[in-house]
Amino acid sequence: MLLLKNCIAVELFPASVNPATDIVIADDKIVAVGENLSSLYPQAVVKEMNGKLVMPGLVCAHNHFYSGLSRGVMAPIGPCPDFISTLKNLWWRLDRALDEESLYYSGVICSLEAIKNGCTAVIDHHASPAFIQGSLAVLREAFIHVGLRGMTCFETTDRNGGQAELLAGIKENSEFAQLIDREKRKNPQHYLVEAHMGAHAPFTVPDIGLEHLAGACKETGRGLHIHVAEDRYDVSHSHDKYGMDPLVRLNKFGLLSEKTLIAHGLWISPQEIELLNQHNAFLVHNARSNMNNHVGYNSHLPAVKWAALGTDGIGSDMLEELKFAWFKHRDAGGLAGTDKFLQMLYNGNVLLERNFGQPFGRLAAGYTADLTLFDYAAPTPLCAENLAGHLAFGMNSAAVDSVFVAGRAVYQDKAFVLDVAPLYEKARIAAQKMWRRMAAL
C-alpha cells in the first residue's frame, strides 16, 4: 500500500483542482482520496509529494508504434507531394521492412517515450505486412516489458497481397483477441494490454474484408479501429467504387458501435457525423499528423459527441498534442474553447473504460491507479476554472516527475525503474537493419 501525501489532485473533466490531498493506492486501485489520511492507513508506505500535481494518466487514443524506428530514416524516399504518395513512398515501404526484431524494439522505445511524456496508456494501430502472424503478441511483450498499458490491432488490408493478406490480417486480429481473453481469465484485474479489430482504411479494405471484420468483432466482442477520411481520396474512392460515404459503408456492415474508433475523419459528411453520434462511436483527432501530411483540418470537432486526441505516430506527448490541437483550431477560425480540448484529452480514459471494463480517469476510490505526477510550479493561481489555460499555455512533458500504471511505478523521480540504455542501443542496431531492407524495396 502506498500513500501519496500532500498532492495537488487534478482531474481533467470536469476540471477540478484540490490542494493538500492524500491519495492511497493498494494493488492496482485507488482506495482513498482525502486530507490527512496517514492515521487511517498506518501500514502504507508514505511518499511526500510536497505539492506536486497528481492527475489520472494521460491516454494517447491513436498511435502507430510500428513507426518508432522511422525517426531520421536513412533510406531513399521518393517525392511526397500528396498524401497517397507519402503512403506509397514512405510508410508502405517502412511497414513492409519490419521484422520481429525491429517491431519489438520499436514497441519498446515508443512505450518508454510514452511513459516519459506522462502517458499511462496508448491505443496502437499496427501494420507489418511481411510479419503478420504473431506481430501483435510481439507488441504486447514490448508494452509489458516497459509497463505501459495499451491496446493494439493489425491494420487489415489487401493493398500488398490481395485476399491472402486480407484474411491473414483478420486472423491475426482474432487470434490476438483470443490470447488476451486467455490472459484475462488468468488474471482479470491485472492485464495491461487489450485488443481491437484493426483495418487500415476503407479505400484498402474491400467489402469481403468488412464482412469478415464484422464477424470477427461480433465473435470477439471487440470494436473496429480504422482510419477514415484522413484525406479526400478516401471519400472520392468510396463514392466512385461503392456509391456511398465511407462511414455509411462501415455502418452497412454493422461496424459502428461504442467500441469503434475512427481515426482522423477530416472529410466526413454531416450524415456520417450523425451516424457516429447515434452509435456513440469515437473519433480521434490527430492535429500534428494532419498538419504534417497536409491533408486539411477537421472542422467538425464541435459536432462530434465522442472525440479524443491521438498522435498518429508522432510520439505520445499528449500535452504537446493538446497545444497543437487548440492552436490549429484557433488558426482555422474555430470557436470552441480550451475546455473542449481538455475534454478530448480526458476522453481517452472513456475509451479505456469501454474496452478494459474498469474505471479510469478519476482520482477516486475504486478507480484504476494509472497516475501521472507533475513537478509544476504554477506562476499564477491554479484552479478548476483556469486549468485548461495552464495545460495549453504552460505545462509540458518536461514537468513529468513520475508515472504509475496499475499502481506500479514505471517512472519515478524523473527516472525509469529499468535500465533503458541497452534497449536504446539495440533499437539503433535494429533500425539500421530495417532501413537497409526498406532501401531495397
Domain that holds residue 220: 58-356
* Cα gap 198→188, rounded to integer Å: 23
The reply to whether 311 and 324 lie within a common domain is: yes
Which pLDDT does position 342 carry in this prediction?
A: 96
Burial of 43 (0-12, 13-18, 19+ CB in 10 A): exposed
* Cα gap 217→254, rounded to integer Å: 10
Is 122 part of a structural domain of the chain? yes
Which pLDDT does position 381 carry in this prediction?
A: 97
Q: 202-234 b/e with 16+ CB inside 10 Å = b?
A: bbbbbeebbebbbebbeebebbbbbbbbbbebb
Whether residue 262 contacts residue 226, with contact meaning beta carbons closer than 8 Å, is answered with yes
Which pLDDT does position 24 carry in this prediction?
A: 99
The reply to whether 264 and 374 lie within a common domain is: no
Which pLDDT does position 90 carry in this prediction?
A: 87
Q: Give, as one character, the DSSP assignment of residue 341.
A: H
CATH code: domain of residue 366 = 2.30.40.10
Last residue of a domain, one of 305, 332, 356: 356
> 23 has which bridge partners?
4, 33
Alpha helix ranges (H) inside 78-191: 83-86, 92-97, 100-116, 135-146, 162-186
Last residue of a domain, one of 338, 356, 374: 356
Is 431 part of a structural domain of the chain? no
Which pLDDT does position 76 carry in this prediction?
A: 87
Is 439 part of a structural domain of the chain? no
CATH code: domain of residue 252 = 3.20.20.140
pTM of the full structure: 0.97
Q: How far is CA 82 from CA 194, 235, 237, 358, 439, in A?
A: 34, 15, 16, 41, 21
Is 434 part of a structural domain of the chain? no
Strand 193-195, strand 119-124: pairing: unpaired
The number of domains in the chain is 2
The reply to whether 138 and 149 lie within a common domain is: yes
The reply to whether 288 and 403 lie within a common domain is: no
The reply to whether 132 and 279 lie within a common domain is: yes
Phi, psi values for residue 291, rounded to 5°:
-65, -45
The reply to whether 147 and 46 lie within a common domain is: no
Q: 321-349 b/e with 16+ CB inside 10 Å = b?
A: bbbbbbebbeeeebeeebbbbbbbbbbbb
Q: Which three cell numbers stand for residue 428?
A: 539503433
Considering only CA atoms, which of 23, 7, 25 is closest in space to residue 406? 25
Note every long-range contact of 424-433, with CB atoms under 8 Å and residues 24 or more positions apart, other chains counting.
Answer: 424/109, 426/105, 427/68, 427/69, 427/105, 427/106, 427/108, 427/109, 430/69, 430/101, 430/102, 430/104, 430/105, 430/106, 431/69, 431/102, 431/105, 432/74, 433/101, 433/102
At residue 104's C-alpha, the angle toward residues 99 and 109, to 5°, is 130
> 59 has which bridge partners?
121
The reply to whether 108 and 122 lie within a common domain is: yes
Is 422 part of a structural domain of the chain? no
- Reduce the DSSP state of residue 43 to 3 states and report it: coil
Residue linked to cell 485507488: 30
The reply to whether 349 and 301 lie within a common domain is: yes
The reply to whether 160 and 242 lie within a common domain is: yes
Alpha-carbon Rg for the chain in angstroms: 21
The reply to whether 328 and 390 lie within a common domain is: no
The reply to whether 258 and 363 lie within a common domain is: no
Which pLDDT does position 328 carry in this prediction?
A: 97
Is 62 part of a structural domain of the chain? yes
The reply to whether 388 and 345 lie within a common domain is: no
pLDDT along the chain (441 residues), means of 10: 98 97 98 97 97 99 96 88 88 91 98 99 97 98 98 96 94 98 86 97 98 98 98 97 99 98 98 98 98 94 98 97 97 92 98 97 98 97 97 96 98 98 98 93 89
Q: Helices 100-116 and 421-439 meet at what angle, rounded to 10?
A: 130
